[in-house]
Amino acid sequence: MSRILITSAIPYINGIKHLGNLVGSQLPSDVYARFCRAQGHEVMHICATDEHGTPAELAAAKAGKPVAEYCAEMWKTQRDLAEGFGLAWDHFGRSSSQRNHELTQHFAGQLAEAGLIEEVSEKQVYSHADGRFLPDRYIEGTCPNCGYDSARGDQCENCTKQLDPTDLIEPRSAISGSTDLEVRETKHLYLRQSALAGDLEAWIDSKKDWPILTTSIAKKWLKDGDGLQDRGITRDLDWGIPVKKGTEDWPGMEGKVFYVWFDAPIEYIAATAEWADAHSEPDSAWQRWWRTDLGAEDVRYVQFMGKDNVPFHTLSFPATILGSGEPWKLVDYIKSFNYLNYQGGQFSTSKGRGVFMDQALEILPADYWRWWLLSNAPETSDAEFTWENFQTGVNKDLADVLGNFASRITKFCRSKFGESVPEGGEYGETELAVIAELEKRFTAYQKHMGAIEIRKAAAELRAIWVIGNEYLQSSAPWAVFKENPAQAAAITRFALNLAALYATISEPFIPFAAADLRRSLRSRSEWPASMEAALGALPAGHGFEVPDNLFTKITDDQREEWAARFAGAR
């Protein structure tokens, strides 16, 4: 079996994330990791919080807390919410960790030695009202490219255009709102990405299987204007990783820290090292995932992220890796996602518009959200969350199809044969035809999962559930029982085995309900080698319990109440 390294985009520490953030990276990476583990692969699934830079300082100031204290609290909050959604990381790290300090400073030293870091005197915005330089996200204004009036000084969230603070129209301080700004000279370090543009382009061109969304964004950045630009990797901030060349001080860079975009992706490596530390493993345990000279040459590395993160992971982070001259593992496949919009607009933290992760778990179990988000994942275009579609998806797919099937067959068996799989009767042509159809659907399901085609995989999984419902409806063991109890027993035994199959193969999408159904049926979780073998996993005499109702339908009243509650300020 293969070794698969999976990383999700690292969420900012500055608050609880909304459903769009969740489906844009973390949730799909979890589905894929669960599938790979079920297939018997050795998996390392990594995520972390991105704790440095302007968002952390601004959020901490707003909360009235020291930034280190704020980040520690929010890391725990984000970790707990991830667990609530069933996100099964091997390790959920922190970019403020000592490991990331050491690795970031190490990479900076290697890049400097290779001549790929340049000291640049530049003009930067200084706020008289705040008494400090304002790096990137401390400045807001109107995007010169699309006119969005809340663009940040590093990138426009609306059009994803890379920006410098001085590009903004009518800039203002994100701290005080002051427009009393002045451009002053300061000195910073730049990564000479332009010197690596040819290597990066050749590497990207070699990735023939990448999604169009991923490669198109990367090539746009390579080709736009004068091509790939050098990028500053330091900032005038207090909170962050101090600028050093490895373990040595960097003259002229006293009091500066590395820019968050530089250190955050390195946290993927650092978090794996944190995992080793947490498990008292030697360095070789994490290095075998990342160093191609120490075992990582046979690792398949897959990243998940929203489209706004693609430039950093196709160009900037690979530039760091390649430029170091060391044998670090480069990503093999980048699965990128478009945006999930909310009720005809964008999610908005400031306006309270849309559903955030903590709110979602307050009103419904995680599997309801997991299923709808994944079956509507924004893979090929932006997707739209509406309460009507959410209600329909939950009620028809989860309650009417899967939940109804599990409830009907277990309750029928208990009423006629007791709480054990009945013996008697034989499988006939109907059951063989169902097995053949299941084989076809299951093959397609596994193919789509392996190709990380999330929506297509969800559609095949639902079709597999439908097969069970249709079989039960057409075979009607409740009617057959009157004339031929033995045949009714065979139908019931087959359907109970279908339920056990569903519990196993549905686990990547709806792990909590799958586990509940598996416990009730007392079935094992081995991924099926074939449908024929899987549908004999529960033999006659095997005991079970009727499960609690797996899913409850969303009522019209609930839908209307939630739509009003999460509409946000107008």
The predicted pLDDT at position 569 comes to 62
Q: Which of 258, 261, 267 is nearest to 240 (CA)?
A: 258
Known binding-site residue numbers for Zn(2+): 143, 146, 156, 159
- In the chain, the percentage of residues whose pLDDT exceeds 70 is 99
Model confidence at 570: pLDDT above 70: no
Model confidence at 139: pLDDT above 60: yes
Q: Which of 358, 362, 389, 353 is nearest to 373 (CA)?
A: 389
The predicted pLDDT at position 164 comes to 83
Domain-wise residue ranges, the chain: 3-104+262-366, 114-249, 370-534
Please give the C-alpha separations between residue 270 and each of 88, 111, 372, 558, in angstroms, as whole numbers: 18, 18, 33, 44
Q: Which of 96, 516, 565 is nearest to 342 (CA)?
A: 565
What's the pLDDT band for 53 if we cut at 50, 70, 90?
Answer: confident
67-84 and 54-63 are packed helices; what angle lies between their axes, rounded to 10 degrees?
Answer: 100
Asked whether this chain's domains 3-104+262-366 and 114-249 adopt the same fold, the reply is no
Yes or no: say if 287 and 197 are a contact pair by the CB < 8 Å rule.
no
The predicted pLDDT at position 91 comes to 98
Q: What is the mean pLDDT of residues 261-273?
A: 97
Q: Which of 297, 316, 296 is nearest to 305 (CA)?
A: 316
Report the topology of domain 114-249.
Methionyl-trna Synthetase; domain 2 (2.170.220)
Q: Of 182-186, 242-246, 423-427, give the range with the top mean pLDDT.
A: 242-246
Find all residues with CB under 8 Å of 464, minimum gap 6, and list them. 438, 441, 442, 445, 502, 505
Q: What is the mean pLDDT of residues 58-72?
A: 93
370-534: CATH class: mainly alpha
Model confidence at 418: pLDDT above 90: yes
Q: Which residues of 239-275 are buried (b: 16+ CB within 10 A; e: fewer)?
A: bbbebbbeeeebeebeebbbbbbbbbbbbbbbbbbbb
CATH number of 3-104+262-366: 3.40.50.620
Q: What is the mean pLDDT of residues 536-544?
A: 95
Per-residue tokens: 278: 């947490």
pLDDT digits 0-9 by tens, 426-482: 999 999 999 999 999 999 999 999 999 999 999 999 999 999 999 999 999 999 999
What's the pLDDT band for 122 if we cut at 50, 70, 90?
Answer: confident
Known binding-site residue numbers for ATP: 349
Find all residues with CB under 8 Å of 129, minimum gap 6, and list them. 173, 176, 178, 180
Find all residues with CB under 8 Å of 494, minimum gap 6, and list them. 427, 431, 434, 471, 535
pTM of the model: 0.92
What's the pLDDT band for 58 if we cut at 50, 70, 90?
Answer: confident
Taken as a whole, the chain contains a residue count of: 570
Q: Which of 334, 169, 187 is nearest to 250 (CA)?
A: 187
The predicted pLDDT at position 218 comes to 94
Q: What is the mean pLDDT of residues 12-31?
A: 95
Q: What is the mean pLDDT of residues 352-359?
A: 94
**Which position has the higher pLDDT, 150 or 508?**
508
pLDDT digits 0-9 by tens, 514-535: 999 999 999 998 999 988 889 9
Model confidence at 167: pLDDT above 80: yes
The predicted pLDDT at position 20 comes to 95
The predicted pLDDT at position 131 comes to 80
Element of type H or E holding 48: strand 42-49
As a three-state string, the secondary structure of 81-110 is HHHHCCCCCCEEEECCCHHHHHHHHHHHHH
Model confidence at 81: pLDDT above 70: yes
Strands (E), 58-217: 91-94, 117-127, 132-133, 139-142, 151-152, 169-173, 181-191
Q: What is the mean pLDDT of residues 483-493?
A: 97
What's the pLDDT band for 224 if we cut at 50, 70, 90?
Answer: confident
